[in-house]
Amino acid sequence: MKSINRTTWLFLAVGLLMQVITFIIMPDNPWSLVSGMLGICSVVLGAQGNILTFLFGFAQVGTYTYLCCMERFYAEIAMNVYYFLTMIYGVYVWRNRLTTKDSMQIQTRVLSKQFLAAISIVVLLTSLLTGWLLDRYTDDTQPYLDAFTTIPALVAQVLMVLAYREQWYLWIFVDVLATVMWLRAGNYCMAAQYAFWCVNCVYGYIQWTRSLVKKQ
């Protein structure tokens, strides 16, 4: 794992420690701790553009889906099935974009401003519609937060799989709202995970931007 730099190791250590401390102070479902720790590993490696992100990602999806079933977050459940399927494809794409044959790092790409603006409008309108449908036809406990953490994440996941830097804009938005959603649900381990993810997204954006500069 020599391709993992010191900053990434530091982020991993801080994130994992934060999860454990949160669980000790405010005990919850043990699966929250497990899912949170797996998620920390996945997103920190993803921020570095390391293909090992998928190894932890598959495990995190399973545990997180279980927690969402308990809270009746239906949009989140559907999203994680989608995550699982896209990650299978993501492994294939990232393997073909490795910087060198022996490297774990990928080559990143940039999305045009026009296309990013169009995506943002579609995401906003679709999220509003999804929130309304969840509120009207299901017993979802937080329909609009559920929708606004789901639809943007679906698009961000595609951008991540295709190695576009602009994924991080959407992930930051999703993680802020998801932190609020889990705080309102009283699950502090999951809230801590998403709060950390938000900080990690900023780090990821910086790392992916640097890799683009180096490539140029």
**76, pLDDT greater than 80:** no
Averaged pLDDT, 56-82: 87
What average pLDDT does range 97-122 have in this prediction?
Answer: 81
Q: Is residue 22 part of a domain?
A: yes
Query: SS3 letters for the chain?
Result: CCCCCHHHHHHHHHHHHHHHHHHHHCCCCHHHHHHHHHHHHHHHHHHCCECCHHHHHHHHHHHHHHHHHHHCCHHHHHHHHHHHHHHHHHHHHHHCCECCCCCCEECCECCCHHHHHHHHHHHHHHHHHHHHHHHHHCCCCCHHHHHHHHHHHHHHHHHHHCCECCHHHHHHHHHHHHHHHHHHHCCHHHHHHHHHHHHHHHHHHHHHHHHHHHHC
Instruction: Find where tokens 């790392």 sit.
Output: 207
pLDDT at 2 over 60: no
Inside any domain, residue 41: yes
| pLDDT level of residue 1 (50, 70, 90 thresholds) | very low
This prediction has a pTM of: 0.79
Does residue 106 lie in a domain region? no
For the segment 128-163, what is each residue's pLDDT rounded down to a tens digit? Answer: 999 999 999 988 888 898 889 889 998 999 999 888
Q: Tell me the residue range of the domain where 85 lies.
A: 6-98+111-215
Domain presence at residue 17: yes
Q: Within a domain: residue 198?
A: yes
Residue 18 domain-assigned (yes or no): yes
Min mean pLDDT across 65-69, 164-168, 171-175, 207-211 is at: 207-211
**Would you state the pLDDT for residue 99?**
65
| Overall domain count for the chain | 1
Cα-based distances in Å from 3 to 48, 55, 104: 10, 16, 6
Does residue 67 belong to any structural domain of this protein?
yes
For residue 86, CA distances in Å to 80, 157, 183, 211 come to 10, 8, 28, 24
Q: If you average pLDDT over residues 94-106, what whole number do you get?
A: 71
- Span 7-34, pLDDT tens digits: 888 888 988 998 888 888 887 788 888 9
Assess if residue 71 is contained within a domain. yes
Tell me the pLDDT tens digit for each residue of 186-215. Answer: 888 778 878 888 998 998 898 888 877 565
